[in-house]
Chains A and B, each alone.
Chain A
């Protein structure tokens, strides 16, 4: 079994079987954390370019590490959005990377759909590392992996995503992935931070976070961007925090074994408290390590690898 498409642009376009393939492939990859020598030889001679138009520490480092542990040659390019102003278009940059022999280009960009533009501009395979508010498929996959690892399954679970769904690429990827794997998805947030037409997405919508948490197996708390307040979508951070902030107090209504996630970086004390991040029910640190495993799996699958090969490797 392989991934059908040249590129990974979003979870919306992946089948259930493809998502499961990535999760299954990530399992042996994760074992690398236990090894004294963290290196698989599988991507030797392959060139992976991390093209980041938006600042990112977590995702870029995770991809860099994933590439290096798979023995690929990894190149990081931080292209500020100002390069648009300087005159080099994305399509132009893409052609350059292709000419330099990039096998896989991993891109983060502030504009929705930019990964589609990149993918159709070059023959190299493209992994979307977050495009605007559209999708962040590798975050979605690592969230699925983390839930499955801790809960043993995804089907039948109730997962609540809290916060700014409107601007969140993480939420969109999570929602597609969770729905495809059979979870019940709830979202909670103020109406001004929910996308139009959300009622037709096949998910449950809450404005009262306490009710949204009640009975949930997993809570995924999204980062609130400070600039959303400036654009008038909610009145103040303290009001947001009072209505939607996840505190130990609030978790009293939750299931005893509720699992708490956050894609990071968190605004501690705003959407989530330090205490909750450090709680034993929180998997925030696991998400970070799992991110590397999932990205190793993807780089591997997208280079034409087969999962059985990896399981037998030593």
Chain B
């Protein structure tokens, strides 16, 4: 018989708020009992005083290298990294090679995911064939094959195609993920168009590239119906557009990456390509507006936009480096260090944006902290202060702007069914 685990003194968060100093008895992949002063002889006891227990995080925006770019990340390394970062489910984007526009491709990823130790994988199907932005993919069949969302993971230039996708998916009731970016305005750009980029001599991506595409797609969603989920919101003014669409009853949800809640374009002064992101880092006033947007709920979800890229690809001139940063093992720690700890974001606001609302967007059930419930929990220790070292990551990628920076807090353990991840992995069983 397997050993049980008893974690003592954790503060458990739920949508109703915190309940402090809870002991959690775990066995057979379930939360057997939760309460104060629990004792159990046949259990490994862990001192969890000061730790925060959250429902497992869900990432709505993940780029995994498999199939096609296994040099960047495999499902095995990516899903393990996600779990170590506190994520128990991630939504994989279809920008693989080949694109996830077929039942075979989606079936492959989902079945591979089932066999792998790590976070659960969900799949966003390509909305158009081969992500060509021209012909609808077989979205009905792809949904039957298990796709949880549809989107091309890149802008679709032709408004009539966006409209058709939104119309067609009304009968499927799945979210349509859009990248709001006018490529006529953004092409050739590598940084936000503003004073910082001007000083650094980097080609600009104006904020209007986002506003124009976002306004277009929100109007299309209003006209066509369907559920639209806006990926990678990066400017303060976009919030007004989303807020207004929501007030008109458009079924819209929105996300921004955790990088855009922490870093501004001033961080580019050293030309570190780990900070070359799409959308680009924006000025501080946008960062502040986005934080407000998360608190208010206009931004429903905070995502990692996990984009693993090899050092060979990133260690080049800023202009030539691919966009993106790996986020799984940086996100929660960085959000805690830079937002929760300084009081800019509460644990509740963070948990809503990374756990509750992403599940709502995908229509999956929110785990509860009640006796008998299957484990889906992350334990975070807000105390330890250390230098983040991406070389220790489970992810194959190292491309993070936070590498070598001081951070506070650590994911101690993630319990997902009968699997345990994190430093606790070697000590306990679920």
Question: Which stretch from B85-93, B132-140, B197-205, B212-220 is at the chain A interface?
Answer: B197-205
Contact with B along A183-221 (1 / 0, CB 8 A): 000000000000111101100000000000000000000
- Taking the complex as formed, is B322 at the interface, i.e. its CB lies under 8 A from any CB of chain A? no
Which chain A residue has the least Cβ–Cβ distance from B204?
A: A196
- Taking the complex as formed, is A25 at the interface, i.e. its CB lies under 8 A from any CB of chain B? no
- Taking the complex as formed, is B195 at the interface, i.e. its CB lies under 8 A from any CB of chain A? yes
Contact with B along A128-163 (1 / 0, CB 8 A): 000111110000000000000000000000000000
- Taking the complex as formed, is A30 at the interface, i.e. its CB lies under 8 A from any CB of chain B? no
- Is the Cβ of A112 less than 8 Å from the Cβ of B198? no
Which residues of B in the span 302-350 have a Cβ within 8 Å of any Cβ on A?
312, 315-320
Shortest Cβ distance from residue B36 to the other chain A in the assembled complex, whole angstroms: 53
Interface residues on B, range: 20 to 34
Question: Which stretch from A83-91, A241-249, A266-274, A277-285 is at the chain B interface?
Answer: A83-91
Q: CB-CB < 8 A to B193: which residues of A?
A: 196
Q: For A134, give its contact among B200, B270, B315 (CB under 8 Å).
A: B200
- Is the Cβ of B320 less than 8 Å from the Cβ of A196? no
Shortest Cβ distance from residue B154 to the other chain A in the assembled complex, whole angstroms: 23
- Taking the complex as formed, is B108 at the interface, i.e. its CB lies under 8 A from any CB of chain A? no
- Is the Cβ of B315 less than 8 Å from the Cβ of A116? no
Q: How far is the CA of A109 from the CA of B316 in the complex (A)?
A: 12
* Known contacts A89-B315, A116-B270, A195 near B320 by CB under 8 Å: no
- Is the Cβ of B199 less than 8 Å from the Cβ of A90? no
Contact with A along B2-18 (1 / 0, CB 8 A): 00000000000000000
- Which of A113, A135, A198 has the most B CB atoms < 10 Å from its CB? A113
Q: How far is the CA of A271 from the CA of B376 in the complex (A)?
A: 68
* Known contacts A84-B320, A116-B271, A117-B271, A91 near B315 by CB under 8 Å: yes
- Is the Cβ of A135 less than 8 Å from the Cβ of B315? no
Q: CB-CB < 8 A to A125: which residues of B?
A: none
Q: CB-CB < 8 A to B315: which residues of A?
A: 89, 91, 117
- Is the Cβ of B195 less than 8 Å from the Cβ of A200? yes
Q: CB-CB < 8 A to A133: which residues of B?
A: 201
- Taking the complex as formed, is B35 at the interface, i.e. its CB lies under 8 A from any CB of chain A? no
Q: CB-CB < 8 A to A295: which residues of B?
A: none
Q: CB-CB < 8 A to A123: which residues of B?
A: none
Q: For B198, give its contact among A89, A113, A116, A198 (CB under 8 Å).
A: A198
- Taking the complex as formed, is B146 at the interface, i.e. its CB lies under 8 A from any CB of chain A? no
- Is the Cβ of A113 less than 8 Å from the Cβ of B202? yes
- Taking the complex as formed, is B194 at the interface, i.e. its CB lies under 8 A from any CB of chain A? yes
Q: How far is the CA of A114 from the CA of B321 in the complex (A)?
A: 12
- Is the Cβ of A196 less than 8 Å from the Cβ of B271? no
Which chain A residue has the least Cβ–Cβ distance from B196?
A: A197
- Taking the complex as formed, is A172 at the interface, i.e. its CB lies under 8 A from any CB of chain B? yes
- Taking the complex as formed, is A12 at the interface, i.e. its CB lies under 8 A from any CB of chain B? yes
Q: CB-CB < 8 A to A75: which residues of B?
A: none
- Taking the complex as formed, is A223 at the interface, i.e. its CB lies under 8 A from any CB of chain B? no
Contact with A along B180-207 (1 / 0, CB 8 A): 0000000000000111111111101010
* Known contacts A133-B201, A196-B204, A112 near B195 by CB under 8 Å: no
Shortest Cβ distance from residue A120 to the other chain B in the assembled complex, whole angstroms: 8
Which chain B residue has the least Cβ–Cβ distance from A116?
A: B271
Q: How far is the CA of A113 from the CA of B269 in the complex (A)?
A: 9
- Is the Cβ of A12 less than 8 Å from the Cβ of B320? no
Q: How far is the CA of A12 from the CA of B201 in the complex (A)?
A: 13
* Known contacts A117-B271, A133-B201, A134-B200, A111 near B194 by CB under 8 Å: no
New A-B contacts (13) at CB < 8 Å, excluding given A111-B318, A196-B194, A197-B195 = A90-B316, A113-B319, A116-B270, A117-B315, A132-B201, A134-B200, A134-B201, A172-B199, A196-B198, A197-B196, A197-B198, A200-B195, A201-B199
Chain A interfacial positions (CB closer than 8 Å to B): 12, 84, 89-91, 109, 111-114, 116-117, 131-135, 169, 172, 195-198, 200-201
Chain B interfacial positions (CB closer than 8 Å to A): 193-202, 204, 206, 270-271, 312, 315-320
25 example contacts (A-B, Cβ-Cβ < 8 A) are as follows A89-B316, A90-B316, A109-B317, A111-B318, A111-B320, A112-B201, A112-B202, A112-B271, A113-B200, A113-B319, A116-B270, A117-B316, A117-B317, A117-B318, A131-B201, A132-B201, A132-B319, A172-B199, A195-B197, A195-B199, A196-B193, A196-B194, A197-B194, A197-B197, A200-B195
